[in-house]
Amino acid sequence: MAEQGEDRDGLVLDRLHLPLGPFLSDWPAGLTIRLVLQGDVVQAADLDEVPVLAQRPVEPFWVRPWVRAAAGEPVSTGEATRRRAAARLDSLGRLLTVAGWPAEATRARRLRDDLLDGTPAAAFASRLEPLARRVGRSRTLSWLTRGMGVVTAQEAQAAGVSGPAARADGDVAARYRQWLTEICHDVARLDDHSQLDLAEESPRGRWDAQQPPSAALLALLPGLLHGAELAAARLIVASLDPDLDELAAHSLEGAARG
């Protein structure tokens, strides 16, 4: 139900309480954000305390190589970088869909599937290059996303954020471009048969089951969404794309030890 309150311009407008998630197309599975809107502007944003998918132990798919390596299993660097690049293509596909570019979103998801299917590095690189060029150089996408959800490198460090979101040092546009840069970098390492070093980052940052990187990304969201328009809020969430399965990794480790 709507209620009234002053907006940022001092006008008295209806306030609408609107939940986003947990089951929403092209949305982090299990995430619920409760918004207070005046018009299409977010006046307040709060996360549900216990995300749906974190209530039970699950093996997080995108960080499985790191979970296995932490348990002492042999995992190659190439296997981990393949999974990391696929995860970032998955995130990119979600953002492109939210941004209204379904054709490139489909291409990103096909490339994700190619990686997971074991496509050799040389063949994959030739398929990736056109997508990286079109998306990375798109003036329309850059214009659509510029200035949204700015996270400086200093703010990221203070919040415990690592990975692409920290290195991007900027807005939504900076973050999807950082994904593209790092995906291209990972493709050159798909055939690395050395043992995975746990200092090697997982898709969303430094892996630690006690403090998974997605926890820090989630903590950023309420502040980034405050004052944003509703359409921008979807893009901001997509550009961070926290993986709630990571939050269950601690419970999974505990169950395994028990």
pLDDT tens digits along 60-116? 899 999 999 999 999 999 999 999 999 999 999 999 999 999 999 999 999 999 999
| 3 state SS of 100 | coil
pLDDT per residue as tens digits for the range 163-193: 999 999 999 999 999 999 999 999 999 999 9
- pLDDT tens string 9-50: 555 568 899 999 988 999 998 899 999 999 899 999 999 875
Q: Which pLDDT band, with edges at 50, 70 and 90, does 1 fall under?
A: very low
96 within 8 A of 89, measured Cβ to Cβ: no
Q: Check if the beta carbon of residue 27 is closer than 8 Å to that of residue 4.
A: no
The whole model's pTM is what? 0.90
Question: Residue 175 carries which side chain, given as an amino acid letter?
Answer: R
2 band by pLDDT with thresholds 50, 70 and 90: very low
Q: What is the pLDDT of residue 14?
A: 80
Q: Are 141 and 174 in contact (CB under 8 A)?
A: no
When mean pLDDT is compared across 1-5, 21-25, 201-205, the lowest value belongs to 1-5
> With contact defined as beta carbons under 8 Å apart, do 111 and 127 qualify?
yes
| Nearest CA-CA partner of 217 in 204, 233, 227 | 204
